[in-house]
């Protein structure tokens, strides 16, 4: 009696889950088919699902229509730079907040926390003006500098994690004559690999997919990131859906690949942000 109820639950669950999975994946499948089809066949009714023959030339045409190679390079360069910068700067700062005692610590931490509440639109306008004033408008500096030195969020996340590391390890190290930096480098960092991986993955995703800031601060195509380049592509080739889907596919593949290899860190990151301290 109880087991058949459980089985019914499970069947029902599978139905819901499969429907959900279908709903999530179909748009992507549709994107792939459209990207690989003969451009003329994109407008067939009823729509043709299997792209045969496969028009790999769509990719070539898309790649050459706009500087997608540059877009890809820019996205990779900017994202890796900021991710590295954030990991370094946030972990250093987080260590200070978690383990070191200095005057003004609580006040500064409170200011950090309250800054997390301020939405990006407020700071975007002055930052835009700052970049223009420093003649850094439309440069890589404008893309990288604001995020390079870390964020309040990343510092907060790592601080929470560092606090969970038993201080006995550090005490032992101090007795052995280690200074704070060595403790940070030899003990805290190696033990924090999961938290660092999680933050890294989150920052990567955020910067890779960032649209509004690069849109505002870059005007020349050679410096555009994939998101902005893709939007510009759509402005020029509004109805060339085969090529548009090609472009979308190109911009989506890198993050999908990373996701497949680091799925658990994505999930971890989300649950971490969802847990109240």
User: Which residues, numbered 179-218, are part of the site for another protein (CB under 8 A)?
Assistant: 180-181, 184, 205, 208-209, 211-212, 215-216
What string of DSSP letters covers 222-254? GG--HHHHHHHHHHHSTT-HHHHHHHHHHHHHH
> Residue 72 Cβ, how far from another protein at the closest point, in Å?
13
State the nearest-atom distance from the C-beta of 64 to another protein, in Å: 19
Interface with another protein includes 52 (CB under 8 A)?
no
50 makes contact with another protein (CB under 8 A): no
The reply on whether position 128 binds another protein by CB under 8 A is yes
Tokens of 212: 């509004």
Picking from 167, 224, 200, the residue whose alpha carbon sits closest to that of residue 90 is: 200
Q: Which of 55, 68, 71, 95 binds another protein (CB under 8 A)?
A: 95
The only residue of 80, 89, 169, 191 in contact with another protein, by rule CB under 8 A = 89
- Convert 4-41 to b/e letters by CB count within 10 Å (16 or more is b): eeeeeeeeeeeeeeeeeeeeeeeeeeebbbbbbbbbee
Q: How near is the Cβ of 57 to another protein at its closest, in Å?
A: 20
Q: Which listed range, 10-18, 51-59, 136-144, 190-198, lies at the site for another protein (CB under 8 A)?
A: 10-18
Span interacting with another protein, options 15-23, 52-60, 65-73, 166-174, rule CB under 8 A: 15-23
Question: Which residue do the tokens 């991986």 mark?
Answer: 197
Q: Does 236 bind another protein (CB under 8 A)?
A: no
Specify the residue, 66 or 248, whose C-beta has the smaller distance to another protein.
Answer: 248
Burial 65-99 (b: 16+ CB within 10 A, else e): ebbbebbbebbeebbebbbebbbebbbebbbbbbb
Q: Which residues contact 194 (CB under 8 A, 6 or more apart)?
A: 265, 268
Using the rule CB under 8 A, which residue among 1, 3, 23, 220 binds another protein?
23
Out of 57, 113, 123, 172, the only residue in the binding site for another protein (CB under 8 A) is: 123
Q: Which is nearer to another protein, 103 or 176 (CB)?
A: 103
Residue count at the site for another protein (CB under 8 A)? 97
252 is a contact residue toward another protein (CB under 8 A) = yes
Residue 114 Cα to chain centre, angstroms: 23
């Amino acid at each position: 009696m109880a087991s058949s109820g459980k089985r019914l639950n499970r069947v029902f669950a599978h139905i819901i889950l499969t429907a959900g999975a279908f709903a999530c994946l179909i748009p992507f499948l549709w994107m792939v088919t459209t990207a690989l089809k003969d451009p003329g066949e994109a407008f067939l009714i009823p729509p043709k699902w299997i792209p045969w023959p496969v028009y790999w030339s769509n990719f070539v045409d898309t790649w050459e229509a706009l500087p997608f190679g540059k877009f890809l390079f820019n996205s990779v360069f900017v994202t890796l730079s900021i991710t590295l910068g954030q990991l370094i700067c946030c972990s250093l700062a987080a260590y200070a907040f978690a383990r070191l005692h200095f005057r003004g610590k609580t006040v500064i931490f409170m200011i950090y926390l309250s800054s997390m509440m301020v939405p990006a639109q407020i700071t975007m306008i002055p930052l835009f003006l700052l970049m223009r004033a420093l003649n850094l408008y439309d440069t890589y500096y404008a893309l990288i500098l604001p995020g390079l030195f870390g964020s309040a969020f990343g510092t907060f996340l790592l601080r929470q994690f560092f606090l969970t590391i038993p201080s006995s390890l550090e005490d032992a190290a101090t007795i052995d004559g280690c200074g704070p930096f060595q403790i940070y480098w030899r003990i805290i960092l190696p033990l924090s690999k999961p938290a660092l991986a999680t933050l890294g993955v989150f920052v990567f995703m955020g910067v890779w997919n960032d649209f509004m800031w690069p849109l505002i601060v870059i005007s020349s195509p050679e410096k555009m990131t994939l998101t902005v380049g893709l939007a510009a592509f759509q402005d020029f080739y509004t109805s060339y859906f085969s090529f548009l889907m090609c472009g979308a596919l190109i911009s989506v593949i890198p993050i999908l690949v990373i996701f497949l290899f680091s799925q658990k860190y994505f999930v971890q990151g989300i649950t971490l942000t969802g847990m109240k301290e």
